[in-house]
Structures are given as structure tokens and as C-alpha cells.
Amino acid sequence: MEIRRTANAGVLLKLDGVSILLDGVCREIKPYPATPPEERAKLCESYPDMVCYTHAHKDHYDPTFAAEYGKQTGGVILGPEELPGCNSTMAAGSVGGVTVTPIPSRHIGGAGKTVSHASFIVKGSQCVWFLGDSSPLLWKDRTDLPKPDFLFVPYAYTTTPTGWTITRNLGAKKTVLLHMPAREEDTIGLWAATEATTKFPDDLLIPSVGQTITL
Ligand SMILES: [Zn+2]
């Protein structure tokens, strides 16, 4: 499996020859990075097999890209039905033996009351949980879901002992931490809090925007 971080909280994932974009084109909310123009151009040159969005916040979602994707490919986006400017569905999708299942989930904090949110389970030869901005507390007792090989999480899972304990107990082989500012632009101490909580183990990966990692 290969991933490329294309956005603040998003990746282009390639699993079993299928490409899946998850929260992969976003706008900027400082200190979080926007999708760089060259990444956006690459994604529009050859659209991924599936496009998924967890929710409509700017640092995860770009309605211009979503509308263009729909216009150019006729494809439907997986995610909450309230995503503005595109056709979206909470039904599971399958391409080439890889299935993506949206799981309704609550956005962490007060935004949980105002924004619809979905997380995604990607299942092929490996199982990926892409949790978006969902609350870590949702996942600790989900024995109904297939066990994750790889976990994609935002900083809420690595900056508090409770979040980190839940992350560890999910038992993934590797955890990919997204939704991090560049270290030199981190004005809110997320790198320091993550270091203090996790001690940066080898199986916690923090890709920079544009970086490709083989898992
Ligand atoms: Zn959000």
C-alpha cells in the first residue's frame, strides 16, 4: 500500500491497484496547510478511482474540487449527504476488490452538533480506518468492525493520554498522523504535545504534504 499526503488531513491511498482520495483536497485554515496547486493539478490530471470526504470543514473539504470531479467523471463522492456542491452518498462503494464503507461518526467537540461527519473503513488485502475529525471515544468498543491494519488519525488521538490509549488499543500495525501543521509553522504546540504523549514511536508516521510513504 502506498500513500501520498495531498492535504492537511488527507491522503491519496493506493491499495491493490485502486486509488482512493480521502479528504485529499482542502483549503487553508492557519496553521494547517492547504493542498498545494501542483498536488491539485496532479489529482485533476488523472482522477482517483474513488473520492471520499469526512465532512465539510475547509481544512478537509474543497467544494470547487468536488464539483469539478463530479462534472468531469460523473462520479459520486462518498461522505455525508450534506456536503455542499456535489453529489454524495453514505452507501459503500467497491472498485477492483476494494470496498470503502462510510461509518456515521461524531465530529470531536462542539462541532459535533453542527456538522455531519463520516469516517471510512477501506477493506482490500489490508484494512484501513480513516477517522477524519471524529471523536476518539467512538472507537474504543467497536468490535463490529474489521480490525485495522493501518489507522489514519488527527492530532486529537496523539495529544492526550486518553486519545493515545484508545489509538494504541485499536492495535494497528502503523498509525499515520494527519492534520498537523508543518513543524516550523506549529504555533499551537501540536508537535510538542504529540511528542510528550507518544514519545514518537517508530510505528507512528507523520508525513509532510507531498510526501509518499509505502506501508
Ligand atoms: Zn473538522
- Compute, in angstroms, the gap from residue 79 CA to the centroid of ligand 1: 14
- Predicted confidence at residue 60, as pLDDT, reads 98
Q: For 9-27, what is the mean pLDDT?
A: 98
Q: And the C-alpha cell for 135? A: 471523536
| pLDDT, tens only, 25-75 | 999 999 999 999 999 999 999 999 999 999 999 999 999 999 999 999 999
Q: Which residue ranges make up each domain of the chain?
A: 2-214
- Compute, in angstroms, the gap from residue 54 CA to the centroid of ligand 1: 9
Question: How far is it, in rounded angstroms, from Cα 79 to Cα 125?
Answer: 23
Q: For 138-154, what is the mean pLDDT?
A: 95
| pLDDT, tens only, 64-106 | 999 999 999 999 999 999 999 999 999 999 999 999 999 999 9
Residue 196, C-beta contacts closer than 8 angstroms, at least 6 positions apart: none
Confidence of residue 141 (pLDDT cuts 50, 70, 90): confident
- Compute, in angstroms, the gap from residue 96 CA to the centroid of ligand 1: 30
- Compute, in angstroms, the gap from residue 58 CA to the centroid of ligand 1: 8
pLDDT at residue 110 tops 90 = yes
Pairing of strands 11-15, 2-5: antiparallel
Q: For 137-155, what is the mean pLDDT?
A: 95
CA 15 to chain centre: 15
pTM for the model stands at 0.97
Confidence of residue 16 (pLDDT cuts 50, 70, 90): very high
- Compute, in angstroms, the gap from residue 107 CA to the centroid of ligand 1: 7
- Compute, in angstroms, the gap from residue 32 CA to the centroid of ligand 1: 12
Under the phi-then-psi rule, with left for phi > 0, alpha for psi from -120 to 50, and beta for the rest, what region is 88?
beta
- Predicted confidence at residue 103, as pLDDT, reads 98
- Compute, in angstroms, the gap from residue 134 CA to the centroid of ligand 1: 8
Three-state DSSP at 126 gives coil
- Predicted confidence at residue 102, as pLDDT, reads 98
% of the chain with per-residue pLDDT over 70: 100
Q: Which CATH class is domain 2-214?
A: alpha beta
- Compute, in angstroms, the gap from residue 184 CA to the centroid of ligand 1: 22
- Compute, in angstroms, the gap from residue 5 CA to the centroid of ligand 1: 17
Q: For 202-213, what is the mean pLDDT?
A: 98
- Please give the full DSSP string across 22-72, using - where no structure is assigned: ES-S---BTTBPPPPHHHHHHHHHS--SEEE-S---TTT--HHHHHHHHHH
Residue 44, C-beta contacts closer than 8 angstroms, at least 6 positions apart: 65, 68, 72
